Amino acid sequence: MVRQSFSHVRHWVFDLDNTLYPPSARLFDQIEVKMTNYVMSQLGIDQSEADRLRSTYWHDHGTTLAGLMREHDMDPLPYLEAVHDISLDHLQDDPDLAACIRALPGKRIVYTNGSAPYAKRGLAARGLSGLFDGIYGVEDASFRPKPERAAFDMVFQKAGIRSETAAMFEDDPRNLSAPHAMGMRTVHVAPEALGQAHDTSHIHHHTDDLAGFLAKIL
């Protein structure tokens, strides 16, 4: 059943954070501290206000960065460099996932709301370097974030992704709405409890085991 659902897919799009590595790695714990500190420093506010703004901007603009750019005209490049300056030492190679990605037919890309250099570091730490035809960050969408449709349009045009023969793997359910509307196969990658906590009308499949799910496709 799963294999048949993906029989037409020749373009494979993967998010990075909490998708190509498990949420248990808790990298976002490090990133969130960096984001809060950066917002505090740049705006001259305390931690509680910085955390409030981050939450508000994530909800209203898609990412903290998008809110900071639109509300405070903040330069995105220093922000991206600062918040992604984290340790990846505890990430481990995943040979099973690597083998499954390598076996997928057609084009494979990574598309993250983080930066492309950060994505490349993350892939290397997971033993997934060299498996993708392209690695795209928020900078490749003119700093417009997922879930905005315009962001997907820009990245997919650059990558040569045809939505009618594409699938998207993503941990944030919001970021699967536009791909669904574009005619892509959508897969929510998240622990089961999280997967049941959201509207699933735009999600075709859910998995808490990406390698296992890809093995079913193959």
pLDDT for the residue numbered 200: 82
Taking the CA atoms of 176, 177, 178 and 179 in sequence, report the sign of the dihedral they define.
positive
Q: pTM here? A: 0.94
Phi, psi angle pair for 205, to nearest 5°: -140, 155
Task: Reduce the secondary structure of 73-118 to three states and give it as a string.
Answer: CCCHHHHHHHHCCCCCCCCCCCHHHHHHHHHCCCEEEEECCCCHHH
Name residues whose C-beta falls within 8 Å of residue 22's C-beta, 6 or more positions apart in sequence: none
Q: By CB neighbour count within 10 A (0-12 exposed, 13-18 middle, 19+ buried), where does 166 fall?
A: buried
Q: What is the pLDDT of residues 22-35, one digit of tens each?
A: 999 999 899 999 99
Cβ 132 vs Cβ 110: under 8 Å: yes
pLDDT computed for residue 196 by the predictor: 56
Looking at residue 192, its pLDDT comes to 72
Q: H-helix or E-strand containing 25? A: none
Residue 156, pLDDT score: 98
- Let me know: does 70 contact 19? Beta carbons within 8 Å: no
* Greatest pairwise CA separation for the chain in angstroms: 54
pLDDT at residue 80 in the model = 96
Per-residue pLDDT tens, the chain, 218 aa: give them.
Answer: 789 999 999 999 999 999 999 999 999 899 999 999 999 999 999 999 999 999 999 999 989 999 999 999 999 999 999 999 999 999 999 999 999 999 999 999 999 999 999 999 999 999 999 999 999 999 999 999 999 999 999 999 999 999 999 999 999 999 999 999 999 999 999 987 555 556 788 999 999 999 999 999 99
Domains of the chain: 2-21+92-217 (3.40.50.1000), 27-83 (1.10.150.450)
